[in-house]
């Protein structure tokens, strides 16, 4: 494959996600395979502005495929949001003779990358790394599958206590704007109710449904609540409201929090990261820029970044129906 690209920089930005290390490894090894130099940029856009770089060889990324987080570290850079900050970032790239960038992150990272591309016509390509799965142009973002498995495992453990003590547990999971984690992990863990921002069921319907469950002989229940769900003001207020209205229930709340973001990536995320890393580098080599790599129907494809961040991924109505039937 002939190309004008001689040196590629790779960074991770925004919230960390399992599989980011595997993606960095894939980028570095694909570069080595095609005899392109690879540079790791520490702390996302902030490290880019400050020139915090390290050459990456095929060997320098060994023993990381199985590690959660990102060894390049991630950061949120206010400075990159300014014209001056982006000018400094561009100077660093020129000084270090870097020809193109692979950006691993979420929609904020891609928005910044797109702006940078517009201003400097600098080649960029994105790899979606976020546990929320809230990006269009891919059926799966890196880290999402791992997070689902972590959440299912946590709910299984909580269910042991719920059934031993005949309790109703409200479990809050991540998902500020979207309910993918809540819906899929809730279904996988057999939750009785799943509350997501995309479908506000209302408090009355929740009470009715919980009462019905009790009357059909359920003594314990799990309600999975996405962080951004609007049924209650918070998961604690939601629990209080139900407690006041259904005094027969013994209620507890569990907020899973950051444990959902950590841990070793699943095999699925490692394979996805490897495939996306190869596609990202080879797309840059072909002269493509301003795209995001994604997986659609088991194929690795590229989508213009602008479409990936513009269209919000939506939840599957079929899946919601399955959840409803399963909670009978």
C-alpha dist (Å) from residue 65 to 22, 161, 271: 4, 34, 10
154: annotated binding-site residue?
A: no
Cβ 6 vs Cβ 123: under 8 Å:
no
In 3-state terms, the chain is what percent helix, strand and coil (to 5)? 45, 20, 35
Cβ 211 vs Cβ 250: under 8 Å:
no
Binding-site member from 30, 109, 138, 150 for ligand ATP (CB under 6 A): 109
Pairing of strands 299-304, 291-296: antiparallel
Binding of ligand ATP by 275 (CB under 6 A): no
Binding of ligand ATP by 107 (CB under 6 A): yes
Binding of ligand ATP by 81 (CB under 6 A): yes
Binding of ligand ATP by 7 (CB under 6 A): no
- Residue 40 carries which DSSP code? E
- Smallest distance from ligand ATP to CB 113, Å: 8
Spell out where the chain has E strands. Answer: 7-12, 37-41, 53-56, 100-105, 124-128, 167-173, 193-195, 221-226, 250-255, 291-296, 299-304
- Smallest distance from ligand ATP to CB 235, Å: 21
Binding-site member from 80, 170, 249, 291 for ligand ATP (CB under 6 A): 80
CA distance 94 to 275: 29
Binding of ligand ATP by 76 (CB under 6 A): yes
Cβ 288 vs Cβ 125: under 8 Å:
yes
Q: Give the nearer residue to ligand ATP in terms of CB position, either 182 or 253.
A: 182
Q: Which of 16, 19, 134 is nearest to 75 (CA)?
A: 16
Binding of ligand ATP by 15 (CB under 6 A): yes
Q: Which of 16, 52, 132, 134 is catalytic?
A: 132
Q: Give the nearer residue to ligand ATP in terms of CB position, either 40 or 85.
A: 85
3: annotated binding-site residue?
A: no
C-alpha dihedral (54, 56, 62, 66), degrees to nearest 10: 70
- Smallest distance from ligand ATP to CB 56, Å: 21
Q: Side by side, which strands form the sheet with 167-173?
A: 193-195, 221-226, 167-173, 250-255
- Smallest distance from ligand ATP to CB 276, Å: 16
114: annotated binding-site residue?
A: no
Binding of ligand ATP by 13 (CB under 6 A): yes
Residue range at the interface with ligand ATP (CB under 6 A); choices 109-117, 213-221, 247-255, 295-303: 109-117
Binding of ligand ATP by 106 (CB under 6 A): yes
Binding of ligand ATP by 53 (CB under 6 A): no
What mask of x and - would describe binding to ligand ATP in positions 23 to 52, judged by CB under 6 A? ----------------------x-------
Binding of ligand ATP by 14 (CB under 6 A): yes
Instruction: Decide if 307 is catalytic.
Output: no
- Smallest distance from ligand ATP to CB 109, Å: 3
C-alpha dist (Å) from residue 194 to 152, 179, 187, 304, 320: 13, 9, 8, 33, 9
132: annotated binding-site residue?
A: yes
CA distance 58 to 207: 56
- Smallest distance from ligand ATP to CB 18, Å: 12
Which residue bears the tokens 């691993």?
104
List binding-site positions for Mg(2+): 107
List, by residue number, the catalytic residues.
Answer: 132
What is the binding site for ligand ATP (CB under 6 A)?
A: 13-15, 45, 76-77, 80-81, 105-109, 111-112, 115, 130
């Amino acid at each position: 494959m002939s190309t004008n690209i001689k040196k590629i920089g790779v960074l991770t930005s925004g919230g960390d996600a399992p599989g980011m290390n595997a993606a960095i490894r894939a980028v570095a090894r694909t570069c080595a395979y095609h005899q392109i130099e690879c540079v790791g940029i520490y702390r996302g856009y902030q490290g880019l502005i400050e020139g915090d770089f390290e050459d990456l060889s095929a060997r320098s990324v060994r023993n990381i495929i199985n590690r959660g987080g990102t060894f390049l570290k991630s950061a949120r850079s206010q400075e990159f949001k300014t014209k001056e900050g982006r000018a400094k970032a561009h100077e660093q790239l020129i000084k270090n003779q870097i020809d193109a960038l692979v950006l691993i992150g979420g929609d904020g990272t891609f928005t910044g990358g797109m702006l940078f591309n517009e201003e400097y016509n600098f080649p960029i390509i994105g790899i979606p790394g976020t546990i929320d799965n809230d990006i269009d142009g891919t059926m799966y973002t890196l880290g999402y599958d791992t997070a689902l498995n972590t959440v299912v495992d946590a709910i299984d453990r909580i269910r042991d206590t719920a059934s031993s003590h005949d309790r109703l547990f409200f479990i809050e999971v991540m998902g500020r704007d979207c309910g993918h984690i809540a819906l899929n992990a809730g279904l996988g863990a057999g939750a009785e109710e799943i509350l997501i921002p995309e479908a506000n069921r209302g408090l009355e319907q929740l009470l009715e449904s919980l009462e019905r469950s009790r009357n059909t002989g359920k003594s314990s229940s799990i309600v999975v609540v996405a962080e951004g769900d609007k049924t209650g003001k918070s998961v604690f207020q939601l629990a209080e409201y139900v407690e006041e209205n259904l005094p027969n229930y013994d209620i507890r709340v569990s907020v899973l929090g950051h444990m959902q973001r950590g841990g070793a990536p699943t095999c699925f995320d490692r394979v996805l990261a490897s495939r996306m890393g190869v596609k990202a580098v080879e797309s840059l080599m072909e002269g493509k820029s301003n795209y995001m790599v994604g997986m659609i129907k088991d194929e690795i494809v590229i989508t213009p970044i602008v479409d990936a961040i513009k269209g919000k991924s939506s939840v599957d109505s079929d899946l919601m129906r399955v959840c409803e039937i399963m909670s009978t």
